[in-house]
């Protein structure tokens, strides 16, 4: 591995990994290796890293972000906010913007925005908006067009003859229902998949097969007509690391954004999901910085839309794991927030008490995942401090 890629977090990870999950026959040797790695690394020690990650002051992330011209918020499910008053209070304290995790998708979990082709159910998403407004939070919409989360009736009732009508009606109805009330919309989500080997990089989805590549422009124009005030966003993932798959996705996403801008599509922002991988050491600040600058050069704002840290391959010990997770947050945000076009940070959840990663990326040792800023008891973790410090040190917008 080239020396410049041996980062502080990689040295720390090697040291922690060596200290956990090993048989007794290798303990003495691995402890020596770990101690040497930590002593020789820029991190110096776990205790030093923990001290470095603490911030001063009791201000919330919402307050810290606002002081820099940023917005911080988190995604949530209505059921959790409704049944857990302590969680709701934490959102009120920390968040300046709320994102319904399920409630504005066509069909997801217990949320059924489109129970039938002809009907809409806004009861859950309306509750979310009332919650946000009553606590002086903005709300952003997620998501109008996605290849997943489609209802059971979709495949049987949507075809080439009616697909455009179904899509436009959905966007007109949903975005129109919230016209003037939302900060922004994820209009199209995850439309890129280089592994599908199309020249344009587009993912082969039901929408692509029914409507062709122009479905993206169609969706943005329908959203702009339905809600002229909302910032309209293209949202995607897998763009953070120095890996061939992330290189390919960055190229394809940038090509798509350039095309949309060139043809006059009403797009205002790019959403970088940032589901970080806690075990991944191939983080190249310069590559991420160049990508963000290229996006910004198109006149687009940049939103960090689904930030968390996948920890299923990190050491089991919670203290060690929390320190690696905090470092992943800080490494990423320190670079991202250097770009003035970045205006928004949304974590995909706020507390480890409720996270999609428990189901989608569980640990093989069955330990609880710890990907978010507050622990399961709603206490601030090192990750919270890491995000706070990155915000505090960011240039003002």
Rounded Cα distance, 225 and 49, in Å:
50
Exposure letters 191-212 (e unless 16+ CB within 10 A, then b): bbbbeeeeeebbbebebbebbe
Query: What six digits make up the tokens of 63?
Result: 């307050």
Rg (CA), the chain: 21
* HSE of 188, CA atoms in CB hemisphere, 13 A: 30
Name the nearest CA neighbour of 329 among 278, 394, 273, 392: 278
> What's the N-to-C CA distance of the chain in angstroms?
37
Identify whether 193 is a catalytic site residue: no
> Phi and psi (nearest 5°) for 308?
-165, 180
Q: Which two tokens stand for residue 305?
A: 């839309």
Is the bond leading into 143 cis (omega within 30 degrees of zero)? yes
Distance CA(12)–CA(246), nearest Å, equals 24
Choose among 93, 96, 100: nearest CA to 78: 100
* Marked catalytic residue, from 190, 280, 306, 339: 306
Catalytic residues: 306
């Amino acid at each position: 591995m080239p020396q410049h890629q041996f980062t502080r977090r990689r040295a720390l990870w090697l040291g922690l990994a060596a200290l956990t999950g090993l048989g007794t026959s290798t303990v003495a040797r691995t402890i020596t290796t770990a101690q040497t790695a930590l002593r020789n690394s820029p991190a110096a020690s776990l205790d030093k890293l923990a001290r470095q990650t603490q911030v001063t002051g009791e201000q919330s992330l919402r307050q810290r972000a606002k002081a820099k011209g940023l917005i911080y918020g988190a995604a949530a499910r209505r059921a959790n906010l409704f049944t857990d008053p302590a969680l709701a209070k934490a959102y009120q304290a920390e968040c300046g913007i709320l994102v319904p995790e399920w409630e504005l998708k066509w069909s997801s979990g217990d949320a059924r925005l489109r129970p039938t082709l002809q009907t809409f159910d806004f009861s859950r998403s309306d509750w979310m908006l009332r919650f946000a407004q009553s606590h002086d939070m903005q709300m952003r919409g997620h998501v109008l067009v996605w290849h997943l989360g489609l209802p059971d009736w979709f495949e049987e009732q949507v075809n080439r003859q009616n697909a455009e009508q179904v899509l436009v009606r959905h966007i007109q109805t949903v975005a129109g229902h919230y016209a003037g009330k939302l900060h922004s919309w994820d209009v199209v989500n995850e439309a890129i998949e280089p592994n599908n080997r199309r020249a344009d990089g587009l993912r082969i989805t039901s929408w692509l097969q029914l409507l062709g590549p122009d479905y993206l422009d169609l969706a943005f124009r329908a959203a702009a007509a339905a809600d002229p005030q909302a910032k309209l966003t293209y949202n995607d993932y897998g763009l953070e690391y120095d890996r061939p798959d992330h290189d390919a996705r960055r190229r394809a996403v940038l090509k798509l954004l350039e095309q949309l801008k060139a043809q006059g599509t009403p797009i205002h922002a790019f959403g970088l999901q940032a589901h970080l991988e806690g075990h991944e050491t191939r983080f190249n600040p310069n590559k991420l910085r160049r990508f963000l600058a290229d996006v910004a050069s198109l006149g687009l704002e940049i939103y960090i839309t689904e930030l968390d840290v996948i920890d299923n391959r990190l050491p089991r010990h919670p203290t060690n794991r929390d320190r690696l997770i905090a470092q992943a947050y800080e490494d990423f945000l320190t670079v991202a927030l250097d770009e003035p076009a970045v205006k928004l940070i949304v974590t995909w959840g706020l507390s480890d008490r409720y996270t999609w990663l428990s189901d989608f990326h569980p640990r093989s040792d069955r330990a609880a995942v710890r990907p978010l800023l507050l622990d399961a008891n709603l206490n601030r973790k090192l990750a919270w401090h890491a995000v706070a410090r990155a915000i505090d040190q960011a240039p003002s917008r």
